[in-house]
Amino acid sequence: MRVAVLVLVVSVSLTEAARCVPTSSPQCYKNSTKPDEDFICEWDERNPEKSQTHILHIWDTVKNSFRTHVKCSKPAQAYLHLEELGTPSRKTDIWVQTQVGNLTCNSSKTSVILECMVKYSKPQIIRMKRSAGILNITLDKPTDNKGAIYEIRWRKRDSEWQNTTFETKDSTIKDFHILHLQNRTIYQIQLRRQAILRSHPCKDSLHALWSDWSQMVDVPSEIRRRPVIRCVEKNPENGTRDIHLSWDAPLPEESVGGVKYILKLLDWPCHKTKKKKQTTNQTYNTSITYSEARISIIARNKVGHSPERHIFIPALKHLNYCNSDMPSNIPKADNNTCLEWYKLEDGETRPKTVNSSNNILLKDIKNEVDHFVRHYYFLHIKRNKQYQTVVMCPFYSKQKAPINGPANVNISDITHESAVVHWLSIPVVEQQGFLQHYVIWISGQGNTKFHQVPANKTSFLIKDLHPGVSYTVSISGRTEAGNGPNSTVNFETHSKEMGLSWQDQTILIVCVVALLCTIICSVAARRLKLLPDVPSPVVDVAEFRCPEEQDQRWMIEEVHEFILLLHQDPGKRRENVTPEQSTLLQDFGLVVFEEEDEEDGEGGVSDLSSIKSCCYPNPSYRGQMLQLPEPFHMTDSTSRDNDTESTYRDGLFFETRVLESLPSGTDQLNPA
Ligand SMILES: *[C@@H]1O[C@H](CO)[C@@H](O)[C@H](O)[C@H]1NC(C)=O
Ligand SMILES: *[C@@H]1O[C@H](CO)[C@@H](O)[C@H](O)[C@H]1NC(C)=O
Ligand SMILES: *[C@@H]1O[C@H](CO)[C@@H](O)[C@H](O)[C@H]1NC(C)=O
Ligand SMILES: *[C@@H]1O[C@H](CO)[C@@H](O)[C@H](O)[C@H]1NC(C)=O
Ligand SMILES: *[C@@H]1O[C@H](CO)[C@@H](O)[C@H](O)[C@H]1NC(C)=O
Ligand SMILES: *[C@@H]1O[C@H](CO)[C@@H](O)[C@H](O)[C@H]1NC(C)=O
Ligand SMILES: *[C@@H]1O[C@H](CO)[C@@H](O)[C@H](O)[C@H]1NC(C)=O
Ligand SMILES: *[C@@H]1O[C@H](CO)[C@@H](O)[C@H](O)[C@H]1NC(C)=O
Ligand SMILES: *[C@@H]1O[C@H](CO)[C@@H](O)[C@H](O)[C@H]1NC(C)=O
Ligand SMILES: *[C@@H]1O[C@H](CO)[C@@H](O)[C@H](O)[C@H]1NC(C)=O
Ligand SMILES: *[C@@H]1O[C@H](CO)[C@@H](O)[C@H](O)[C@H]1NC(C)=O
Ligand SMILES: *[C@@H]1O[C@H](CO)[C@@H](O)[C@H](O)[C@H]1NC(C)=O
């Protein structure tokens, strides 16, 4: 059984190896109508065998003989040289003999007049232009530059082909074809072509060979809108501004087949032609000088381009003064320098056309330009392919004093001692040089004061004036060449004001308002009990001590007048004090106490210490007072002129007077 299978396999492989499959019948042609062109024959190999050889046989059917046998060089292809063929205008039979091992087989014969076998290369679409529903296709010419028959087919995506043929003429440079297409629709197109054979034996169109189809191309619709471009400028640094440009892609039906963006940059002022950049990215970064730059962009697809979008990056704001010097490392002008200069008529506006040159420096033009007119210049350099502005400055070839003084000089805020003068700055055209400062003269009462004001100021406060005096203010601009004419204005200071100045009034009003507020608030607080009650001190009588240094200020002195009648015998004085008098004194002491208490409650302030220390009677007070002791007789300080004794003790002022007139004798006691 196994042996049988093996035999079968071997026999199958043997028969396979022995098979000879013929090729397709060969197609022979030349690639132009030129008579001296060689031919090429092509066929399809259908035999999978590797080690096969092919021989091309060309049989002259008129002479009945072989013209030639060609061993093929390349697989499935053989060249027929014209010399080997003799006259190609006779009918010939051509076939391919295939040899596989010991076996040979022949392809079917093809019977042709070789002369008529012309197959052009496939057409190339050089350019397409689509607009207003028309597609204009530009095609390459065949190698013989002859007219040809073309077939073109086109379709909307995923729909049926439509086709048509057209013929082009000899002796044109390019072939065009116009196709009418629907607006805003994507199409696909393909073309092929055929030679037009005019020689006698080839009249039969059967012999004409179509070229291969050209590659299928997508036809986008035309780009209608100019790109929307965004420009971000980074802060200028070291004479260079980094520019980041970005833009939107066209609509999808316009972008089919790819979009390229073409930027044109005019970023080096000494170049008169724009630099062209092509990119498929939607961004572009570049660096430019401080001078003006112009950039334009178009979006290009296979059938055309969008309208152009221009952007303009203005120069940096003009400086009023030159604050940088010519760098010393640029001794001479060359292709990497660019001097740009122009007249600044009004000090601000850059003119439409500016001068620029890459072989001069400022010193070469400094004295060439108009005198007394402000000019502006830039010096740019190219360094490592980066553009950089080294200097930008205004300049004058020669300076003069200003033509006019400042305009609109007027005075405001006049008081009795000051006033403010305002003016409009002198326009650059009238300056004729760099304004260094304004000079102000103030004359009045026969003397003149003089001030210099920085050129960027347009007002000045005049101080230290006298009230009610008429003054004249003259103001002029000064350049390095001197002062310009004066602009003059007169004014009179106010006479000295009697009332309060407004500052004083304000302060006064503020004070009054503050006071009112305080009062209202405190009253309201008490009424509404907004503030917590100050607790009345819990007085421990035992703790009361009146310190030595009594603060008399806190005493409310009250004068009670009473008379003590004494016996002539001073020795009995003590016993004569009546209980009523003692009570009186006792009452008095309480009166003092109560009043202090009242005051404490009213003020709500913490003068408790003073009250405590000074005003509460010493516990021993009552006893002392009640007994009206020795103090009545004491002290050297009391005057005895009128037989009066005065005593101050324990917060009470006693005056003791002996009235002689009264027989019984009376002491008047005035406690305070
Ligand atoms: C076809 O044309 C090309 C260029 O025109 C040429 O190089 C080539 O030899 C031609 N082929 C044949 C078979 O004549
Ligand atoms: C091929 O031919 C040689 C002699 O010419 C012969 O020996 C051989 O067997 C042949 N092979 C086949 C597969 O016929
Ligand atoms: C193939 O063609 C050659 C040349 O004409 C001839 O000698 C040969 O017999 C042919 N072979 C077959 C199988 O027809
Ligand atoms: C296509 O658009 C153009 C204008 O862009 C217009 O003139 C033309 O009539 C349009 N054609 C069709 C078929 O809509
Ligand atoms: C097609 O385009 C070519 C140039 O590319 C132009 O000469 C020709 O006039 C155009 N044809 C039409 C119909 O616009
Ligand atoms: C269009 O193509 C068809 C099929 O390939 C063909 O029969 C017909 O002749 C072609 N028409 C033109 C005008 O070329
Ligand atoms: C500018 O110049 C300074 C000093 O020459 C340098 O430190 C700095 O990096 C430069 N900046 C740029 C953006 O080149
Ligand atoms: C632009 O596209 C190229 C490739 O096409 C890429 O290498 C390059 O980094 C891109 N540049 C920017 C700035 O995106
Ligand atoms: C400057 O440029 C001009 C023209 O572009 C060129 O002829 C000249 O040789 C260049 N000079 C230098 C120093 O590179
Ligand atoms: C005026 O110029 C001085 C320096 O000359 C400058 O410090 C000042 O900021 C400037 N004032 C204005 C308002 O430009
Ligand atoms: C401007 O006025 C001042 C003060 O009156 C005077 O000294 C000065 O000469 C005047 N300048 C001119 C140009 O008239
Ligand atoms: C004595 O008292 C009388 C009347 O009160 C008075 O006028 C007189 O100046 C007093 N004498 C002295 C020395 O105070």
Q: How confident is the model at residue 549 (pLDDT cuts 50, 70, 90)?
A: very low
**Within-domain flag for 616:** yes
Report helix, strand or coil for 541.
helix
Q: Using 50, 70 and 90 to split pLDDT, how confident is the model at 48?
A: confident
Residue 528 lies in a domain: no
Which residue's CA is the closest to the ligand 10 atom numbered 13?
456
Element (DSSP H or E) covering residue 14 = helix 2-18
Task: Return the minimum-mean-pLDDT range out of 23-27, 521-525, 578-582, 602-606.
Answer: 602-606
CA dist 418 → 390, 411, 453, 603 (Å): 47, 10, 17, 50
The lowest-confidence range among 116-130, 306-320, 339-353, 564-578 is 564-578
CA-CA distance, 406 to 420, in Å (whole number)? 15
| Residue 175 burial (10 A CB sphere; 0-12, 13-18, 19+) | buried
Relative to the alpha carbon of 80, which ligand is closest?
1
Q: How far is the CA of 101 from the centre of ligand 2 (A)?
A: 8
105 Cα–ligand 3 center, Å: 7
Q: Is the pLDDT of residue 601 over 70?
A: no
- Within 70-220, residue ranges assigned H as helices are 82-85
Instruction: Please tell me the least confidently modeled range out of 66-70, 254-258, 370-374.
Output: 66-70
Tell me how far the alpha carbon of residue 216 lies from the centroid of ligand 4, in angstroms: 25
In this structure, what token pair is assigned to residue 336? 């990497």
Q: How far is CA 509 from CA 515, 521, 522, 599, in A?
A: 10, 18, 20, 32
* Predicted confidence band of residue 330 (pLDDT cuts 50, 70, 90): confident
CA of 238 to the centre of ligand 7 (A): 6
Whose atoms come closest to the Cα of 278: which ligand?
A: 8
Ligand nearest, relative to CA of residue 162: 6
Q: Is residue 319 part of a domain?
A: no
Residue 240 burial (CB count, 10 A)? 18
Residue 575 pLDDT more than 50? no
pLDDT(563) > 70? no
CB 217 within 8 A of CB 367: no
**89 Cα to the center of ligand 3, angstroms:** 25
Q: What is the pLDDT of residue 207?
A: 63
Please tell me the predicted confidence (pLDDT) of residue 235.
Answer: 85
Q: From residue 50, how far is each of 14, 75, 549 by CA, in Å?
A: 15, 11, 139
Q: What angle do CA 128, 132, 136 make, to 5 degrees?
A: 25
**557 shares a domain with 665:** yes
CB-based contacts of 566-573 (< 8 A; 24+ apart in sequence)? 566/665, 566/666, 566/667, 567/664, 567/665, 568/664, 568/665
Which atom from ligand 9 is nearest to the alpha carbon of 335? 1
Q: Which atom of ligand 2 is nearest to the CA of 18?
A: 13
Where among 346, 369, 395 does a domain terminate? 395
Residue-wise pLDDT tens digits, 95-104: 988 888 888 8
For residue 170, give every residue at least 6 positions away whose Cβ sits within 8 Å of its Cβ, in sequence order, or none. Answer: 145, 146, 147
Could you read off the pLDDT of 628-665 as tens digits, one per residue? 444 444 444 444 555 556 556 665 655 655 555 444 44
Query: Are 79 and 201 members of one domain?
Result: no
Higher pLDDT, 180 or 73: 180
What per-residue confidence (pLDDT) applies to 156? 93
Tell me, yes or no, whether 621 lies in a domain.
yes
The residue that leads in pLDDT, 648 or 238, is: 238
Which one of 159, 189, 219 terminates a domain? 219
Instruction: Copy the structure tokens of residue 590.
Output: 């309480």
Residue 151's pLDDT is 95
Q: Count H helices and E strands in the chain, helices first.
A: 9, 39
**Residue that finishes a domain, picked among 116, 136, 154:** 116
pLDDT in tens, 197-236: 877 777 765 667 899 999 999 999 999 999 999 999 988 8
Please report the pLDDT score of residue 363 as a whole number.
85
Closest ligand to 106 CA? Answer: 3
Nearest listed ligand to the Cα of residue 19: 2
The residue whose C-alpha atom lies closest to atom 2 belonging to ligand 2 is 102
Which atom, in ligand 1's list, is nearest to the CA of 31?
1
Output the pLDDT for position 562.
Answer: 52
Q: Looking at the CA of residue 131, tell me the nearest atom of ligand 4.
A: 5
Residue nearest to atom 8 of ligand 12 (CA): 642
- Closest ligand (CA of 234): 7
Return the pLDDT at 650: 60
- Claim to verify: residue 644 and residue 559 sit in the same structural domain: yes
Picking from 263, 221, 259, 258, the residue whose alpha carbon sits closest to that of residue 245 is: 263
Nearest CA among 445, 404, 405, 403 for reference residue 421:
405
Residue 602: pLDDT over 50: no
Paired tokens of 115: 């002369």
State pLDDT tens for residues 489-538.
999 999 876 656 677 778 888 888 888 888 887 878 777 765 555 555 55
Does residue 238 form part of some domain? yes
DSSP class of residue 463 equals -
For residues 498 and 590, which has the higher predicted lDDT (pLDDT)? 498
- Average pLDDT of the chain is 79
Cβ count near 18 (within 10 Å): 11
For 346-366, what is the mean pLDDT? Answer: 87
Which range (244-258, 317-331, 435-449) has the least confidence? 317-331
**Does residue 617 sit in the same domain as residue 644?**
yes
Is 151 a domain residue? yes
Residue 174: which CATH number?
Answer: 2.60.40.10
Cβ of 273 below 6 Å from ligand 9: no
Whether the pLDDT of residue 45 is over 80: the answer is yes
- Stated length of the chain: 672
Residues 6 or more apart from 363 whose CB is under 8 A from it?
none
The residue whose CA is least distant from atom 10 of ligand 1 is 31
Q: Which residue has the tokens 């509404």?
A: 528
* Residue 570 buriedness (CB in 10 A; 0-12 / 13-18 / 19+): exposed
CB 282 within 8 Å of CB 255 = no
Compute the average pLDDT of residues 429-436: 91
375-389 average pLDDT score:
90
pLDDT for 589 equals 41
Sheet architecture: strand order including 241-247 = 229-233, 241-247, 283-288
Q: Quick one: 570 and 624 in the same domain?
A: yes
Number of C-beta neighbours around residue 392 at 10 A: 22
Q: Do residues 649 and 571 both lie within one domain? A: yes
Q: Quick one: 672 and 560 in the same domain? A: yes
* pLDDT of 648: 60
459 CB under 6 A from ligand 4? no
- Ligand 10 centroid from CA 384, angstroms: 37
**Judgement on whether residues 186 and 242 belong to the same structural domain of the protein:** no
CA of 642 to the centre of ligand 12 (A): 6
Helix (H, G, I), strand (E, B) or coil at 24: coil
Nearest Cα residue to 211 out of 142, 116, 128:
142
Q: Is 133 in the pocket of ligand 4 (CB under 6 A)?
A: yes
pLDDT of res. 202: 78
CA-nearest residue for atom 4, ligand 11, is 441
Q: Is residue 504 part of a domain?
A: no
The answer to whether the CB of 458 is under 6 A from ligand 5 is no
- pLDDT surpasses 50 at 620: no
Structural domain of 631: 545-672
Give the helix/strand (H/E) hosting 420: strand 419-424
103, 18 contact by CB (below 8 A): yes
662 located within any domain: yes
As for how many domains the chain has, the answer is: 6
Tell which one of 238, 288, 329, 388 to mutate to probe ligand 7, the residue whose CB is within 8 A of the most ligand atoms.
238
Ligand 9 and 359: CB distance under 6 A: no
The pLDDT > 90 percentage for the chain reads: 39
Our CA angle for 661, 665, 666, nearest 5°, is 100
